[in-house]
Amino acid sequence: MRTLVYNELTHHFWDLVEERKLNSYFFKDSPYSEVECLIVKTATKVNSSLLDNFPNLKLIICAATGYDNIDLKAAKQRGIVVCHTPEANSFSAAEHTVSLIYALLKHHQLGQYNIDNDKWRKGLPLNWEMSELKALIIGVGRIGTKVADTIKLLGGEVRGVDPYLTEQDWATKQVEQTDYSQGLEWCNLISYHTPLTAETKDYFSTATLTKLKRPVWLVNTARGGVVNELALKEGLDSGLVLAAGLDVFDNEPILNDNLKRHPKVLVTPHTGAYTDPARRRTAAEILKVWESYVYRNIIINEV
């Protein structure tokens, strides 16, 4: 299966291709009419216009957990299978989420500001401990489950929102199920771990603010559009949001100045999966999807 690697991948991928003697199948450049498999990253918008260039395309592999960059309806209409690599980034993204939670609870950003301005602890609010959390996990998949387990291990309470889990899934994950409205009334931290879809766009909105019974910490390492940035700014300014840790944004890499420079916002440049082990796992998972499809006619990780 002639495969075009549309976006640049790390040397880990090409090392594996070389090791498995698959060089004759993978190309960085190829006549589009000959391409049967396309490997992309989330920076590439795979829409109808792009797909029209690939008349023989059978398989798209997105080298990421998220896949909102791909027009799934357009792909399905053309009979193209779309898969992703959900396992590869789960450890690093979960760790990144927990690191943001810790940084918020311990007021790292305010502490740095005080040090820089020779204020020591003057005016600093007391730090929180993880055991004080009532954490609402939105999307209890691979990443959300790992975040939930960490919070529970350190004494915090956790409830989850995920309409796609069965009763058996909830029992296995040992996370208490709730719905969004009830969860918002209960929690003091919200952490988002969902793909960006029509259902999850603006999941956090001005309507969300009206349901909160107490101020909350907010963390988003999923997709920027899941949290409406204007609503978040309103929540921060009103005190309903104590502080926010954000790794994803609406218009990356251009950030909203109202958030980027807000004293209650800690931002990172979409580095939730920015580790060497994650890159190695991504390379391996891409080839696992590809080999399963090509050699065994089995589709795995389809979205």
User: CA–CA separation, 259 vs 249, rounded Å?
Assistant: 10
Distance of alpha carbon 200 from alpha carbon 270, whole angstroms: 19
The model's confidence at residue 34, banded by pLDDT at 50, 70 and 90, is very high
Query: In the prediction, which pLDDT does 258 show?
Result: 86
Q: Check if 8 is active-site.
A: no
Say yes or no: do domains 3-88+275-296 and 90-267 share a fold.
Answer: yes
Q: How confident is the model at residue 282 (pLDDT cuts 50, 70, 90)?
A: very high
Q: How far is CA 37 from CA 204, 241, 259, in A?
A: 36, 44, 39
What does the alpha-carbon distance between residue 80 and residue 94 come to, in Å, rounded to a whole number?
31
pLDDT tens for 69-81 read 999 999 999 999 9
* Averaged pLDDT, 85-102: 97
Q: Say which of 12, 96, 107, 270 is annotated catalytic.
A: 270
Higher pLDDT, 66 or 137: 137
Q: Is 107 exposed, middle or buried (0-12, 13-18, 19+ CB in 10 A)?
A: buried
Distance CA 44, CA 32 (A): 16
Q: If pLDDT is split at 50, 70 and 90, which confidence band does 111 have?
A: very high
Helix (H) or strand (E) holding 140: none
Q: What is the mean pLDDT of the chain?
A: 96
The fold adopted by the segment(s) 3-88+275-296 is: Rossmann fold (3.40.50)
The pLDDT assigned to 291 comes to 98
Q: Which residue has the higher pLDDT, 43 or 101?
A: 101
Q: 239: phi > 0 → left, psi -120 to 50 → alpha, else beta; which?
A: left
| DSSP symbol at 258 | H
**Where along the chain do its domains lie?**
3-88+275-296, 90-267
CA distance 301 to 86: 7
Per annotation, catalytic residue among 193, 223, 262, 279: 223
Respond yes or no: is residue 270 known to be catalytic.
Answer: yes
Q: Which of 39-48, 203-212, 252-261 has the lowest mean pLDDT?
A: 252-261
Q: How many CB atoms lie within 10 A of CB 1?
A: 13
d(CA 291, CA 285): 10
Measured distance CA(17)–CA(229) in Å, rounded? 41
Read off the pLDDT of residues 117-172 as tens digits, 9 standing for 90 and up: 999 999 999 999 999 999 999 999 999 999 999 999 999 999 999 999 999 999 99
Q: Please confirm, yes or no, whether 199 is among the known catalytic residues.
A: no
pTM of the model: 0.93
Q: Is the model's pLDDT at 277 over the cut of 90?
A: yes
Q: Which CATH superfamily is domain 90-267 in?
A: NAD(P)-binding Rossmann-like Domain (3.40.50.720)
Tell me the β-bridge partners of 191.
Answer: 137, 219
Overall average pLDDT of the 179-201 stretch: 96
| Catalytic position from the list 132, 252, 261, 302 | 252
Say if residues 273 and 92 touch (Cβ distance below 8 Å).
yes
What percentage of the chain exceeds 90 in pLDDT? 96
Query: Pairing state of beta strands 265-267 and 189-192?
Result: unpaired
User: Looking at residue 31, what DSSP letter applies?
Assistant: -
